[in-house]
Structure 1
């Protein structure tokens, strides 16, 4: 009798262990956000555990992005990154529920979610921010940096604005924000990383960025960052380099949250032909299409047909 009970206990225990292991393996490879498991496993179940699976590069520090003001490298890895464009293409696509299913949701600059959740989703895990957009964030510090906001901010900009000797105007703003909101997680690109992004532009286009009078876009910095940190990338609302000349051309505002603002394609064409100070949006999109052939990148809403 004792051995029968003992065998049953062993079988039940083994079955529970197998089920639990399968559950953890499935969830660790799932695209579902980690916080869906917290009600069952408690607060100790963290995002760090979800993305610590070896041998992938989960633990590799990204030294091109340093925290303000402690100068610690960014440590972040995501299974599926949904990068949400600020384009008016996001309007009326109802992509929000799909975006919300991703492990990490990235946005750019000060693009809002409130009032646009159906199209752009709710959560924001990371924002890539241009040095020129930092003042827009500072205008609403409680919203962007206040307690309970777990968003990671990665701010890019030229050395003159990001220098840390007291003369960097933008860096000073960010440092003050961290002093006012100690929980804020703000990182800035190093000068070496900025130079690297310029080098990539020249390698891919054959043009020197400075000599050609170009400024890299926030989208450029976002894609380069994502290729380092995301196992899979889904980009929403970004048009390809031929879209504005296609029959399916859709006239939309440059930003989805600026109704009645300048037309997106008109803005792109203006920048592409500007002799100085323009973002080469169309050129960049052609490079992104090239990257998508060798990286797990998908472009959605509208979907890109890669040749």
Structure 2
């Protein structure tokens, strides 16, 4: 009888230790910063033959550099390059603009519509900038993986050609999550209002996922264009002859179908800045 009791106690002790070990791992995963344990779910790597690698990225400080003409003459390049992780968008170049926007690029978030622009200059983006991580987003019809997703097929060819370049796609579930965030913040269904989320929106979501603190450069606030003394700058710092920024924002905000709600999105970012460690520079925001 004593032997049986001793054996039962040993079994219970073993089970208890196993349970504590499992709980320890669970608590560690829950408390560890984004990207250090299970990675950033919602971002899958495009590699020939498989799609099961999530993005593992965590930064204590991030510089999110806008593509806005506000960056012209900013002279912030040296400051930006000193930040741990530098995030850029679409095809925004650094060559020729280093003094204002810096030279380093840790992550580049790219819209499906900008993929042809990167392919057009693929040597610059995927060869010279081989250390950059690329995150592409797009609608399901373009990103589907059954052979009929035009954009996904292009990215797969790039991944095969430049095997060392890390190329990720935003999953359908993550895009649906972002749609839900937009609706929760505005009370409006994105699709019913005829709006498309901007690359800036997906970039801000990613930055919140992976960065402890975010320094946003060159992004105007939602009231900027309504001020009488606002500066007139190009929509993009690298496209001088396009519509000016505020005019572009107003056109998109009020178009019935297919527009980005840039001004509404900026109002959402202002809310997020009260809940996350986020600072806006050049111009600075009064939160």
Q: Same fold (TM over 0.5)?
A: yes
Residue 141 (str. 1) matches residue 122 (str. 2): yes
218, 222, 229: which one aligns with 2:203? 222
- Residue aligning to 1:161: 142
- Residue aligning to 1:35: none
d(CA) in 1 for partners of 2:132, 2:229: 36
Matches within 5 A, 1:96-245: 96-146=77-127, 149-245=130-226
Maintained 8 Å contact 1:146/1:183: no
Matches within 5 A, 1:292-307: 292-306=273-287
d(CA) in 2 for partners of 1:66, 1:216: 20
- Residue aligning to 1:18: none
40, 50, 65: which one aligns with 1:62? 40
Maintained 8 Å contact 2:41/2:55: yes
How far apart are residue 247 of structure 1 and its match?
3.4
* Residue 144 to residue 232, structure 1, CA distance change in 2 (3 Å): same
Residue 268 (str. 1) matches residue 249 (str. 2): yes
SS at match of 1:64: strand
How far apart are residue 78 of structure 1 and its match?
0.6
TM-score, length basis structure 1: 0.81
62, 65, 79: which one aligns with 1:81? 62
1:245-301 Cα deviation digits (max 9, x unpaired) = 113300000000011221100000000000111000000000000000010011111
Maintained 8 Å contact 1:145/1:183: no
User: 4+ residue runs of structure 1 moved beyond 2 angstroms?
Assistant: 54-60
SS at match of 2:266: helix
TM-score, length basis structure 2: 0.86
* Residue 104 to residue 247, structure 1, CA distance change in 2 (3 Å): same
How far apart are residue 117 of structure 1 and its match?
0.5
Count of aligned positions: 253
d(CA) in 2 for partners of 1:99, 1:148: 17
1:47-102 Cα deviation digits (max 9, x unpaired) = xxxxxxx9433233112000002321000001111010000000011111110110
Q: As a proportion of its length, which structure holds more strand?
A: 2
1:160-197 Cα deviation digits (max 9, x unpaired) = 00000000000000000011111111000111001000
d(CA) in 1 for partners of 2:154, 2:223: 39
d(CA) in 1 for partners of 2:107, 2:206: 11
d(CA) in 2 for partners of 1:160, 1:67: 18
How far apart are residue 132 of structure 1 and its match?
0.5
Kindly indicate whether structure 1 or structure 2 has the higher relative contact order, using CA contacts under 8 Å at least 6 residues apart. 2
SS at match of 1:261: strand
